[in-house]
């Protein structure tokens, strides 16, 4: 009781400027799976990963490609900032979102000391509005020979080589690398892959996602054995497009509880 | 070239107060493996995990147990702050350290909006100076029946039940829970366990670490099969203390490269 009163008195006169405050932002790493639209580079899979970049209209790094981001406002949690950035800059709501890592190098922003809490979002392209599916902001991530290339899906002449420094604004290159590593490490022991396929998918589509994230081909029989416990047949088949019909599956926890 | 000049001009007049700045701290979750010194609670293992807590001398939360922490200074990276806190508050240097998660709830600190970047440190107790090994700041983590108890190693009457709210300062309870989960998830697919044993260890000691972190007993033959590829015999044996001598192992990447 005495303590409570003394604490109240302490808080009333507390000088919040004793320690210098810092600017805090969130940056958004939005990944999806896409068709690899090129064949002048060693193809590991028909499908690849893509990342959503925005071209900066303002200084600093004007005209550079960057991850969408924004300042954390005093009345927002970090996740609320991340969701606001997705809404305002990409017109996206309701994505799978996880906190990735907090980047705090002293000179990462030329304006001032800015600490950035990066979030990773995973989207299934066919869930998006058509204009967003086809947007000029998607870049194929092409990995091989120890380098990572980002190639604009709609304009393959825009190609960013991440082994070269300063091809992206700020430390966004680093954030992409950390995100790719995180996803690669987590895909085998979590259910993250299911955020990257439609609700109903063929096992080949699911295998494509794992191959795109891991950056290597998998053997179908072994893949199917490891994935078996996580999926269940919907009883539906694919139709059309000249292929033999394939069985459609869904993620096991998506099934009604009486099944 | 023109852009570079224009950017310089922009930076010269940039008003860094456009977005309100926030306070940023780091909090340190220091885990080690210890003997469980009690038997009035269901024992899952002879060994358990412990966490290092400090008793707050200042408001807010005066006299409460808390994680050691400190403000991020403008000229420090986040990791530098974490290392400074370890040095200043626990007199520890050179620990395994990884960023855990950034906590940004709006009211997590009664003084003002403070965002905290939590780091997790892993220590092997016998590596520590004797006074630190025996310090009054270590709490056994006792898990079972959906609750977590923290019991002071030197004074079992100090017992904090984490299912009750407000037993620790700030949201430090939440940070401990997130850290325990992280370690549990990562121990099976990383080499984190080796930061919690001495350089030379018996397979039983190593199994004790896995059991303490996972909170369950493991079958020795299965454990030894999974761990085999990560360890190598040193050729040394334990001696003394009335037990049958046991073979000593070390972590495989610790071996000289000519072996």
Mutate to test the interface with B, among A19, A82, A191 (most CBs of B within 10 A): A19
Mean pLDDT computed over every residue of chain A = 91
Q: Given a cut of 60, is residue A40 above it in pLDDT?
A: no
Using 50, 70 and 90 to split pLDDT, how confident is the model at A121?
A: very high
CB contact under 8 A, B24 and A24: yes
Q: Is B175 on the interface with A (CB under 8 A)?
A: no
The predicted complex's ipTM stands at: 0.92
Q: B235 CA to chain A: closest CA distance, Å?
A: 34
What are the pLDDT digits (tens) for A196-228?
999 999 999 999 999 999 999 999 999 999 999
Write down the residue that tokens 């004793």 correspond to. A18
CB contact under 8 A, B60 and A189: no
- A101 interaction partners in chain B (CB closer than 8 Å): 99
- Please, which contacts does B158-167 make with residues 24 or more away whose CB atoms are closer than 8 Å? B160/B65, B167/B65
Tell me the C-alpha distance between B208 and B202, whole Å: 10
Tell me the C-alpha distance between A20 and B16, whole Å: 13
**Residue B30: which of B90, B84, B81 has the closest Cα?**
B90
CB contact under 8 A, B111 and A74: no
Q: Given a cut of 70, is residue B252 above it in pLDDT?
A: yes
Strands, DSSP E only, in A125-213? 138-144, 147-152, 159-161
Facing residue for B104 by CB, picked from A14, A78, A185: A78
CB contact under 8 A, B21 and A16: no
The answer to whether B77 and B59 are in contact (CB under 8 A) is no
Q: Is A24 on the interface with B (CB under 8 A)?
A: yes
This prediction's pTM: 0.92
pLDDT of residue B42: 52
Distance of CA B202 to the CA centre of its chain: 23
Residue % of chain B over a pLDDT of 90: 78
CB contact under 8 A, B16 and A111: yes
CB contact under 8 A, A73 and B104: no
pLDDT of residue B45: 45
Tell me the C-alpha distance between B237 and B233, whole Å: 10
Average pLDDT over residues A75-101: 95
pLDDT of residue A85: 97
- A169 interaction partners in chain B (CB closer than 8 Å): none
CB contact under 8 A, A59 and B6: yes
Residue B33 is encoded by which pair of tokens? Answer: 């493996």
């Amino acid at each position: 009781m005495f303590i409570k009163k003394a604490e109240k008195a302490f808080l009333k006169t507390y000088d919040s400027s004793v320690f210098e405050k810092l600017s805090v932002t969130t940056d958004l790493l939005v990944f999806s799976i896409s068709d690899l639209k090129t064949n002048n580079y060693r193809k590991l899979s028909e499908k690849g990963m893509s990342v959503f970049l925005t071209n900066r209209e303002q200084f600093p790094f004007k005209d550079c490609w960057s991850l969408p981001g924004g300042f954390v406002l005093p009345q927002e949690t970090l996740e609320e900032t991340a969701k606001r950035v997705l809404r305002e800059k990409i017109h996206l709501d309701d994505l799978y979102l996880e906190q990735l890592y907090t980047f705090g190098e002293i000179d990462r922003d030329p304006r001032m000391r800015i600490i950035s809490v990066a979030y990773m979002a995973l989207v299934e392209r066919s869930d998006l509005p058509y204009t967003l599916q086809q947007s000029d902001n998607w870049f194929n991530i092409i990995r091989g020979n120890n380098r990572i290339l980002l190639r604009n899906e709609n304009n393959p002449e825009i190609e960013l080589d991440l082994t070269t420094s300063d091809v992206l604004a700020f430390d966004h290159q680093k954030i992409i690398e950390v995100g790719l590593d995180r996803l690669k490490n987590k895909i085998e022991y979590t259910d993250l892959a299911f955020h990257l396929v439609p609700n109903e998918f063929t096992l080949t589509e699911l295998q494509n996602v794992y191959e795109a994230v891991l950056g290597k081909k998998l053997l179908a029989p072994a893949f199917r054995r490891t994935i078996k416990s996580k999926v269940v047949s919907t009883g539906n088949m694919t139709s059309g497009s000249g292929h033999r019909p394939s069985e459609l599956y869904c993620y096991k926890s998506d099934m009604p509880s009486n099944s």
